[in-house]
Amino acid sequence: MLKYLLPFVFVSCLLAQFKPGAVERLDFDTVEEAVAFAEKQLEGQGDASSGWSFPGCGSPERQRRPKAQWAAIILQFKYSDDFRQSADVRINCYSPNGSHMLPPGTARVYFVYVKPEKIKLRLYQTGYHDINRTFEVAQGDVLVVDDLVLEKPTADTCAEVVGRVWLEGEKNHAGVSVRLGPQRTISDVNGQFRFDGMPARKGWRIIAEMKGFHFDPAQFDLYRNSSELRILSGYKVRGALVRWAYQPNETNDLSNDIIEGRTVVGFSPRQFLRFAEGLLETNRDYDLKIEQRGQNVTLAYEGFSRKSGIIRLRDIPFDDVAQAPEVSYQPKMVPLADGDVYVFRTTDGKHFAKMEVLRLLVGEEDKEIALGELARRPLDNDK
């Protein structure tokens, strides 16, 4: 069955990556060649394996299906000018990060697993309006989408973004770097900024940066001939002075033979820590994550094993936590507060630790004061 569609779509993942033994030739000079190839494969007459595998597109059960459950999408596009670079194409499956670069003028075959649902496609290139489309396709279909044109923004079709930044505790809001895609500007004394001539696109991310302040990134869609207003709030960087203890032996005893200390955590958008001879920063297998969100500092653990996780204790001092409770430890995220006490089962599922929030810290000055307190502490006294 052959269907022809006009323009084109929002996407979320490339589906045309094959493992050894499956079809490898997917690009053709003409749409007619691509259609003949796709129909032959779907009818089971081609040289493909009995099922196609698409790594990164969800669970193992969804990665491999019989041919009867697939359809083919043939894509071909051009630019409104003489630009020749490949564009990013996305076809929705189960991974938000999968994409593929498609050269203009090439007819490419994508095989997609079809459920009774709509398929979304997206084609985009920096500096051009996105093409987004949603359509339906049945199992065994060959869908041709060959009239796609990526257009440059014009005075009549471009979008604009205007806004201002706000800095906590400041009267002068100048000097904030604001980035939108490849473009960057600096806020004036009133915090105002502006971006003109922007192409229409879904999922724009606007990012503001200034030393000593935290801005949450914002995401939004831009449409042709539209204006978007954004207010970006910059809060002073935050963290916490914490006290911790770690049991290096594989027991739940948190009062004897423990390693303990105090440290300052946070003051970065995201910090990963693990318990060892200290509370150490790490890039993998972390025991806790400290993250600033707006004016809050959060503690999180997302879980690397079924046994590891966090529990929060109430109405018990840090020194009175003599042992880690024999309960289920779960991944969670909570805002930090003065006096909070937590018990951790570490990533390996075999060790325990505890931590107390001694004081929340706001701004670089608070951080420097807390570091000074740590520098004065006697090495043999951590009480």
* Residue 112: partners with Cβ closer than 8 Å, 6 or more residues away: 15, 70, 71, 72, 73, 91, 93, 119, 137
Check: CB of residue 202 under 8 Å from CB of residue 329: no
Note the pLDDT of residue 331.
87
3-state helix, strand and coil shares in percent for the chain, rounded to the nearest 5: 10, 45, 45
Confidence of residue 104 (pLDDT cuts 50, 70, 90): very high
Q: Is the pLDDT of residue 214 over 90?
A: yes
CA 382 – CA 377 distance, rounded (Å): 8
What is the rounded CA–CA span in Å between residue 246 and residue 350?
Answer: 12
Report d(CA 356, CA 304) in Å as an integer.
Answer: 23
- Nearest CA among 267, 259, 282, 269 for reference residue 355: 259
- What is the mean predicted confidence (pLDDT) over 16-31? 56
**Residue 115's pLDDT is what?**
67
Asked whether the beta carbons of 161 and 230 are under 8 A apart, the reply is yes
Q: What one-character-per-residue DSSP string does 324-375 give?
A: --SS--B-EEEE--TT-EEEEE-TTSS-EEEEEEEEEEEHHHHHHHHHHHHH
Q: Which position has the higher pLDDT, 115 or 2? A: 115
User: Which residues lie across from 70 on neighbouring strands?
Assistant: 113
**Both tokens of residue 323?**
């042992």
Give the model's confidence band at 97: pLDDT under 50 very low, under 70 low, under 90 confident, else very high: very low
Question: 128: buried, middle or exposed (CB in 10 Å: 19+, 13-18, 0-12)?
Answer: buried
What pLDDT does residue 64 have? 53
Strands laid side by side in the 100-102 sheet: 100-102, 87-91, 118-124, 131-136
pLDDT value, residue 111: 80
* CATH architecture group of domain 2-150: Sandwich (2.60)
Q: Do domains 2-150 and 159-236 have the same CATH topology?
A: yes
Which residues are CB-neighbours of 333 under 8 A, at least 6 positions away?
Answer: 298, 299, 300
Domain 159-236 CATH class label: mainly beta
User: What is the band of 232 on the pLDDT scale with cuts at 50, 70, 90?
Assistant: very high
> 3-class SS at 319?
helix
pLDDT on residue 12: 30
Q: What's the confidence (pLDDT) of residue 9?
A: 32
d(CA 19, CA 2): 27
Residue boundaries of the structural domains of the chain: 2-150, 159-236, 238-376
Higher pLDDT, 218 or 118: 218
Which tokens in the block code for residue 307?
A: 């046994």
**H or E stretch covering 321:** none
Q: Which residues contact 351 (CB under 8 A, 6 or more apart)?
A: 246, 247, 248, 249, 250, 275, 345
Mean pLDDT of the chain: 84
Cα(298)–Cα(258) distance, integer angstroms: 26
Identify the band that residue 371 occupies on the pLDDT scale cut at 50, 70 and 90: very high
Positive or negative CA dihedral for 53, 54, 55, 58? negative
Residue 179, Cβ neighbours under 10 Å: how many?
Answer: 15
Higher pLDDT residue, 330 or 80?
A: 80
Residue type at 169 in one-letter notation: G
User: What percent of the chain is modeled with pLDDT above 70?
Assistant: 82
- Residues 316, 341: contact at Cβ < 8 Å? yes
Q: Which of 88, 69, 74, 92 is closest to 11 using CA atoms?
A: 92
Q: What one-character-per-residue DSSP string does 30-82 give?
A: SHHHHHHHHHHHHTT-SS--SEEE-TTSSSHHHHEEEGGGEEEEEEEEEESSS
State which amino acid sits at residue 75.
Answer: L
Options 2.60.200, 2.30.30, 3.40.50, 1.20.120; which CATH number does 238-376 get?
Answer: 2.60.200
Q: State which of 126-140, 201-215, 294-308 shows the largest mean pLDDT.
A: 201-215
Taking the CA atoms of 249, 254, 255 and 258 in sequence, report the sign of the dihedral they define.
Answer: positive
pLDDT score at 10: 29
CB-side exposure of 221: number of CA atoms within 13 Å?
A: 7
Whether 69 shows a pLDDT value over 80: the answer reads no
